[in-house]
Each structure stands twice: as C-alpha cells, then as structure tokens.
Amino acid sequence: MSKDELLKELENAIVAGHLNADDEGFDGTMEGTPGTLELLEKALAEGIEPQEIMETFGRSMERVGKLFEAGDYFLPDMLASAECVGEAMAIIEPKLQRGSISDKGKFLIATVKGDLHDIGKNIVATMLKGAGYQVKDLGIDVPAEDILKAIKEFKPDFVGLSALLTTTMMEMEQVIKLMREEGFTDIKVFIGGAPTSKEFAEKIGADEYCHDVMEALNKLEKMRNAS
C-alpha cells in the first residue's frame, strides 16, 4: 500500500467513525478491519510525518462537516468521527515537533461557570485540532477568573466560550469584561450554544457568534485569511 493509499484509508476510517478493529463503524460491517488507531500506528511505523497525518485529520473532519451540513450525518455520527480524531490526536501530539501544529494559532475553549454541557464544545475542540490549531480545552463549569488566568498562561489568539443555559450565558459577558479590563483586546472571542445569538454576541462584545461547529470553523478561517 502506498503512502497516499494508506492516508486515504485513514481518512475514510475517520469519516466512517471506525475507531479500531473491534469497532463496527457506522454501517455495522467494519468489525475486524483496521480502524483509525491501527491505520495511524501503521502510518507512523512507515515513517509518514506526523504533520502530514494531521493534514489527513483535517480533510476527514472537513468531509464530516460537509456531510453534517447536507443532512447525511447526524450528531452521533459526528461524535463518532470526532472520537476517532480525539484518540488519534492523543497518540500523535507527543510525536509532533514543538510548534508544528500551532502555525494556525492558539485557541482556548471552555464551557462557562455554572454550565456542565460539553458535547458541542468537545466537537469544536476536536475539529480545531484536526484542522491544525493548538487547542487548550479548560472543560466545563469554568469561572471567568480561571479563564482569564489560562489566557495569561496560554496566550491564545482566539477564545471560544460555550453555554447551553440561559442562566449561564451571561457569564460570557463577565469573561469578556475581565479580558478587556486586563488589556486583552486583540484576542478574538467566539461564542456558541443554544441560547446565544448574533445579537447577544454584539451586546456582550464578542467578535463572533457561531450556530454550529462548521460555522465556527468557517468564520475562523475567514478571520485568519483576512489578517
């Protein structure tokens, strides 16, 4: 199998949500065939550069995003593919040279204080990693002060804030307020979650509102290309 064929097989495994040989994949027929993790190990063993493998992750999740937008994939399908990339990233990240995946920038992401929902945030974080961003995920229920501390330490180019409850979405405003008070005016802030909107983003001073993961990626790419 050539390098291109192997990377294409890896790409297809991710798109199919086929994690490993014990996994059936979306259609229930893939058990016993090499999955994402086996193909990743084979690619590394054959000397394929980690950065080139990362580019395969990006192509895979781009295809998944398009399938989701077209209505051919649903949330569980996207989650399965995101899990494949997430576990593959855990293997490949230590093998990457320092700075090799940060050329697109650093992205800090968190679900704000009081909110315990993380599915949407996790998908965004995984797809950003697959697209070549250096991502720091602070998790759920993160106070504004902790987000500000992480900004000082991680020095991100972008910050993503998530909330799924009307009772917690106002915490986003507190995060942005603290950021501006500390002089972090150049960091672009993205917000998302069911109760948020473009109008709410404008009200609290966020740079972008994103309805879903693909809108987040598209707006992020446009912002980078314009800079």
Domain stop point among 95, 125, 153 = 95
Tens-digit pLDDT profile for residues 65-113: 788 878 998 888 888 888 898 899 888 877 765 444 556 899 999 999 9
Tens-digit pLDDT profile for residues 9-20: 999 999 999 999
Classify residue 124: in a domain, yes or no: yes
Q: Determine the Cα angle at 101 with ends 97 and 107, to 5°.
A: 135
Classify residue 101: in a domain, yes or no: no
Classify residue 180: in a domain, yes or no: yes
Domain stop point among 44, 71, 95 = 95
Entry pTM = 0.70
Domain of 132: which CATH number?
3.40.50.280
Say which residues have a Cβ less than 8 Å from residue 13's Cβ, sequence separation at least 6: 25, 34, 35, 36, 39, 84
Tens-digit pLDDT profile for residues 103-156: 689 999 999 999 988 877 887 887 788 777 889 999 999 999 999 999 999 999
Same domain, 28 and 88: yes
Domain stop point among 66, 95, 124 = 95
Tell me which DSSP letter residue 102 carries. -
